[in-house]
A and B are shown apart, each in its own frame.
Chain A
């Protein structure tokens, strides 16, 4: 085995070199961690941003609108001279609770690296389950929207000419526009739910701009084709999401793109025995993004699916800083823990647990609601007491929500629990 002369002990090892990994590594270094390493399985850093060539990134963080590769470039350009080591084309195979990282590449072969702290930033992958549930033939021409994005934007290869899109998540919407500009005819975007999961701005500038119809409360009920997709049947669904007979529409097309959601990529986390949250499909985390294994942190899409990369960056800076502090000063002493519970209308929260001693002036809580709501109030309660209320005009599952809790409020928590819920404004006060 080669690589014996390579230094194998690091302060902080970051697994994954997307925006989350880049921000975590840079922050860890700035906080004082000496030896920081990024491991990335792809040949280049930047993660999913490399294929997101559209603009709309960075309005919060950089106060300007960047494309995905430009956003990643802002961080990648800070690496040379920073002292951060990068190993690209390197696949992480396993991490263990004693913080050994097993990795492999064609240059060094199999490696065992040890770290004082680890940050997991593996991102997420696309759901394909929607495809399995669709009746009909299994011809060629069915892609996930992200795979199509990679083919078109990175390889420069058109995946089809007449396209139907299933699911109205942002990737599907972005691809509707992209395929149209590249000369394809996009016949429609079919969404099972009565609302879109994508950002409003993407409905406007990706569908409406090109007169692409959005079929809400509809689904694909049949795909026909011999070798390649030829015809797709779309039906309206009832309130239980069951197709309504007699509402069938037929579309002649050669391509179906699936944009039916993303799932955090957590094989490594599960193997390591990190406690997972069934609601997010990501690790449970504390206020500083630490997982159930002390010294192992996680941030970005591997924890919960983000729509805005700026939130990924902010969360990852928190993780990187905490990882460096762990490497420098060791474990957080055990203390009080507050569990954050989901109340009405709330699907999940991140963090799931808060250690008040670790909180500076305030703690940020991210969450998603389970439906579209207007004129509501977000309530943070403990027992019978309302600790804080925040008004919102509009909330939707496709838009991640953030509230900021001052530390003083955490001290009022009873029985180590607080609850986040959403109520109609009329009921409040």
Chain B
């Protein structure tokens, strides 16, 4: 039996996951907690949020996220991969920055609109 705190929503339910019984989850207030409890033990994943450089815009950095979770073990390699990424303004929310990011099956997308800088 493993005890976890569900991080899917701010409620933070205290979960108990039974590894010996097909990762049965108790203590969850909703089905998303059951999915999380199992995944957290089998293959923990997280959404990565960070920023990349942007040129010609009203801001120097544009915030980005992976549009799905990636394995926890890939967070640092992913951060490294972002270092050399550079976008050109204008950028809109939802623009794909990198497709199939690191071959992980998710896209890296912009989470902020950066208009062109008026000279």
Q: Chain A interface (Cβ within 8 Å of chain B)?
A: 43-44, 50, 53-56, 59, 65-67, 69-70, 73, 76, 153-156, 181-183, 199-201, 203-205, 209, 307-308, 399
Contacts of B76 in A (CB 8 A): 181
| CB atoms of B7 and A308 under 8 A apart | no
Tell me if B112 and A50 are in contact (CB < 8 A): yes
B111 within 8 A of A: yes
Across the interface, which residues of B come within 8 angstroms of A65, CB to CB? 47
B51 at the interface (CB under 8 A from A): yes
B-side interface size class: 20 to 34
* Inter-subunit contact A155/B60 (CB<8 Å): yes
**Is A201 within 8 A of B93, CB to CB?**
no
Measured CA separation A204–B4 after assembly (Å): 9
Q: Which residues of chain A have C-beta atoms less than 8 A from B51's C-beta?
A: 53, 153, 156
Question: How near does chain A come to B33, taking the closest CB pair, in angstroms?
Answer: 12
Question: Roughly how many angstroms separate A76 CA and B61 CA in the complex, as a whole number?
Answer: 19
Decide if B22 is an interface residue (CB 8 Å cutoff): no
When chains A and B are docked, how far (Å) is the Cα of A65 from the Cα of B2? 26
Given contacts A156-B60, A156-B61, A307-B10, 9 further A-B contacts (CB under 8 A): A43-B58, A53-B50, A67-B65, A70-B111, A153-B61, A154-B60, A154-B61, A182-B79, A201-B7
Q: How far is the CA of A147 from the CA of B55 in the complex (A)?
A: 23
Q: Given that A73-B113, A199-B12, A200-B12 are known contacts, is A53 also in contact with B49, CB under 8 Å in the complex?
A: yes
- Whether A70 pairs with B12 at a CB distance below 8 angstroms is no
Could you tell me if B63 and A53 are in contact, using CB atoms closer than 8 angstroms? yes
Complex partner residue of B63 from A69, A183, A307, CB under 8 angstroms: A69
Collect the chain A residues with CB atoms within 8 Å of residue B112's CB: 50, 53, 69-70, 73
Report B-chain residues with C-beta under 8 Å of the C-beta of A76: 113
Tell me if B75 is interfacial: C-beta within 8 Å of chain A.
yes
A182 proximity list for chain B (CB < 8 A):
50, 79
Chain B neighbourhood of A50, CB < 8 A? 112
Given A53-B51, A69-B112, A199-B12, A154-B75 contact (CB < 8 Å): no
Interface pair A69/B50, CB less than 8 Å apart: no
CB atoms of B46 and A201 under 8 A apart = no
A55 and B10 form a contact (CB under 8 A): no
Alpha-carbon separation in the docked complex, A143 to B4 (Å)? 32
Give A205 to B50 CA distance when docked, in angstroms. 15
B42 at interface, CB cutoff 8 A? no
Chain A residues positioned under 8 Å from B75 (CB to CB): 181
Q: Is B1 an interface residue (CB 8 A)?
A: no
B10 touching A199 by the CB < 8 A rule?
yes
24 A-B pairs whose Cβ atoms sit less than 8 Å apart in the complex: A44-B58, A53-B50, A54-B49, A55-B47, A55-B49, A67-B49, A67-B63, A67-B65, A69-B111, A69-B112, A70-B112, A73-B111, A73-B113, A153-B51, A154-B59, A154-B61, A156-B60, A182-B50, A199-B10, A201-B6, A203-B5, A204-B5, A204-B12, A209-B72
- In the complex, are the beta carbons of B61 and A308 less than 8 A apart? no
A205 to B72, CA, bound (A): 10
**Whole-angstrom distance between the Cβ of B42 and the nearest chain A Cβ:** 16
B38 lies within 8 A of chain A by Cβ: no
A55 in contact with B65 (CB, 8 Å): yes
Across the two chains, which residue of chain A brings its CB closest to B7? A201
Of B10, B61, B76, chain A has the most CB atoms within 10 Å of the CB of B10
